[in-house]
A and B are shown apart, each in its own frame.
Chain A
């Protein structure tokens, strides 16, 4: 039933080496790629190693799927974020943490050009996806958002049936689909929601609980076959049980997707993230603007165990007591 492609490393290399602008054919070529033998294994229990195991397997430097180089982000004249440089590693979960208002959401939205929708928002510096500048003049933001999906703070299912919520993405992006039923089933299965909703696919998504709605939104994102999933405080509207289900889910999704998550919950970052980036905001002397900047970016265990920057230390110990 694997209508989904598993994007393989080979597919990516092939794609980058061509250096062509992103087109849907590229994605389709990738989606037709061979399904690795181990695809089924992703749902097995052994696929959720504890962060401790994973830390030892992490490359020293992240293999950058998305890279920021000296990125500044403005809202009209206001400089919200400055000087951000970091690589988001393939098949890793990266957490963005920091006090509220330091620009975490701003950075996240810049990564898939959702900032374009805010009048006056502007990005300088370079944000690249497989080496290609996503703000390049020849890049279609629609295509960027398809490859780099997003899950929002408040679950936002469409006012339609569960089935229609999933089918919407593949339809609008014009994916070649043999069987929409299979896509829906697989997306829901990957989002660990299938068993709960398989008997009520035609019912309104609004009848689901908050946690289920959020997993539906994740499934909906998965259905268009993105490579990266951005999550902006995806659990902040959920209870602890729903939160823990989403965290388990993220752990499974890491096998196939690159995940970047903003969270205000440091325990969550410590639990799920491979690497963590700590942001803070500093008031500028000239303008008085509170501008966010990246303080420290490292493997999560190091960030929480032995941070190199005193500001990180202060922030983490302030919350962890």
Chain B
């Protein structure tokens, strides 16, 4: 029977040609090409948007309303304000709900119960549902309760539904990363489970929750489909002034301008794209800063 032989004392073998074989090289080249294609697409997009939009990145873009006929002096004022209203309302709706749901599922729900398991499975699926479906859901819901579909509140509901699963999932992940020892330490002192969550677990998880939430909101900011489905207005020449106010948002405005035949509208759209990209970049940067500065590595 074979047994473990003597200690190997032969000289170390020379490096195999493996790394330089045609198959390895082919594989590497494929990887590089894939990266290059992605980068080139992204760069083209950015550069053309910049080149086209830069001349229109002026004060009028921020201060003037859109126009159907004179693109030269039209602006995205209503869209920028509309985006702020909708995203602000979305944040107010989705953040407390999402965090509360995440805390319940992670800290209190009994995983043995069928209904909790059902929620669990559905959450994963919901996060993958196309955005437009949430628009349809909200439209149906608005109809049922007699809410006007084209107002800030309806848009915010659609976007909240869209990002709720993401917020819940990131909240749970952030909570799960907090070591069980912290909870035990708190409970062993005579703290209640609720005090433990409120004063220890959740604060420890907050950087992770904040990062995930900001990323989710930035996704909502760039979303047009569900709002279009709600019949989002493409032409607004007033400042939105409340939850029941009609509105348009940057993505909708961009969508509508790019549909216009005039060259000037294309430039205007490019300028608005730059603004939108800038906002998204800012939010993502904020998320990264929070993660790097406050995220704890246990």
Tell me whether A and B are bound partners.
Answer: yes
A82 to chain B, nearest CB (A): 25
**Assembly CA distance A119 to B113 (angstroms):** 12
- Indicate whether B96 reaches chain A with its CB closer than 8 angstroms: no
**Contact (Cβ within 8 A) B189 A114:** no
Q: Which of B186, B187, B192, B195 has the most chain A CB within a 10 Å cutoff?
A: B187
**Contact (Cβ within 8 A) A146 B189:** yes
**Assembly CA distance A158 to B179 (angstroms):** 10
Per-position contact with B for A169-183: 1 when CB-CB < 8 Å, else 0?
Answer: 100110000000000
**Contact (Cβ within 8 A) B186 A168:** yes
- The residue in chain A whose Cβ has the minimal distance to the Cβ of B111 is A119
- Indicate whether B19 reaches chain A with its CB closer than 8 angstroms: no
- Indicate whether A290 reaches chain B with its CB closer than 8 angstroms: no
- Indicate whether B263 reaches chain A with its CB closer than 8 angstroms: no
Per-position contact with A for B183-206: 1 when CB-CB < 8 Å, else 0?
Answer: 011111111100100011000100
**Contact (Cβ within 8 A) B188 A150:** yes
- The residue in chain B whose Cβ has the minimal distance to the Cβ of A120 is B112
- Indicate whether A142 reaches chain B with its CB closer than 8 angstroms: yes
- Indicate whether A221 reaches chain B with its CB closer than 8 angstroms: yes
**Contact (Cβ within 8 A) A143 B189:** no
**Contact (Cβ within 8 A) B110 A172:** no
**Assembly CA distance A145 to B184 (angstroms):** 11
For chain B, what secondary structure do more than half of its interface residues adopt (helix, strand, loop), or is it mixed? helix
Interface positions of A from 209 to 243, Cβ below 8 Å from B: 217, 220-221, 224
Interface positions of B from 204 to 219, Cβ below 8 Å from A: 204
Q: Which of B112, B189, B204 has the most chain A CB within a 10 Å cutoff?
A: B189
A119 to chain B, nearest CB (A): 7
CB contacts between A and B, total, < 8 Å: 65
**Assembly CA distance A221 to B184 (angstroms):** 12
**Contact (Cβ within 8 A) B189 A154:** no
B144 to chain A, nearest CB (A): 39
**Contact (Cβ within 8 A) A145 B200:** no
**Contact (Cβ within 8 A) A149 B189:** yes
- Indicate whether A308 reaches chain B with its CB closer than 8 angstroms: no
**Contact (Cβ within 8 A) A119 B188:** no
- Indicate whether A117 reaches chain B with its CB closer than 8 angstroms: yes
**Assembly CA distance A220 to B182 (angstroms):** 13
The listed residue (B187, B191, B192) touching A114 by CB distance below 8 A is B187
B22 to chain A, nearest CB (A): 52
Interface residues on B, range: 20 to 34
Per-position contact with B for A96-132: 1 when CB-CB < 8 Å, else 0?
Answer: 0000000000000000101001010000000000000
**Assembly CA distance A114 to B186 (angstroms):** 11
**Contact (Cβ within 8 A) A168 B189:** yes
- The residue in chain B whose Cβ has the minimal distance to the Cβ of A221 is B189
**Contact (Cβ within 8 A) A154 B181:** yes
| A143 contacts across to B, CB distance below 8 A | 190
**Contact (Cβ within 8 A) B182 A217:** no
**Contact (Cβ within 8 A) A224 B189:** yes
- The residue in chain B whose Cβ has the minimal distance to the Cβ of A24 is B190
- Indicate whether A19 reaches chain B with its CB closer than 8 angstroms: no
A187 to chain B, nearest CB (A): 12
**Contact (Cβ within 8 A) B296 A172:** no
**Contact (Cβ within 8 A) B191 A152:** no
The listed residue (A114, A117, A150, A156) touching B182 by CB distance below 8 A is A156
Known: A154-B181, A156-B179. A117 touches B189 (CB 8 A): no
Interface positions of B from 167 to 191, Cβ below 8 Å from A: 179, 181-182, 184-191
**Contact (Cβ within 8 A) B190 A114:** no
B184 to chain A, nearest CB (A): 7
Interface positions of B from 99 to 120, Cβ below 8 Å from A: 110-112
**Contact (Cβ within 8 A) B188 A145:** yes
- Indicate whether A38 reaches chain B with its CB closer than 8 angstroms: no
| B184 contacts across to A, CB distance below 8 A | 114, 117, 150, 152, 156
| 4 pairs of A and B residues whose beta carbons are closest in the complex | A146-B190, A156-B181, A150-B188, A169-B189
If A159-B182, A221-B189 are given as contacts, then 5 extra A-B residue pairs at C-beta distance below 8 Å, sorted by A number, are: A114-B188, A146-B190, A149-B188, A156-B182, A172-B195
> Can you list 19 A-B contacts with CB-CB less than 8 angstroms, sorted by A residue number?
A114-B188, A117-B184, A117-B187, A119-B111, A142-B190, A145-B190, A146-B190, A150-B184, A152-B185, A154-B181, A156-B179, A158-B182, A158-B200, A172-B186, A172-B190, A217-B185, A220-B189, A224-B189, A224-B190
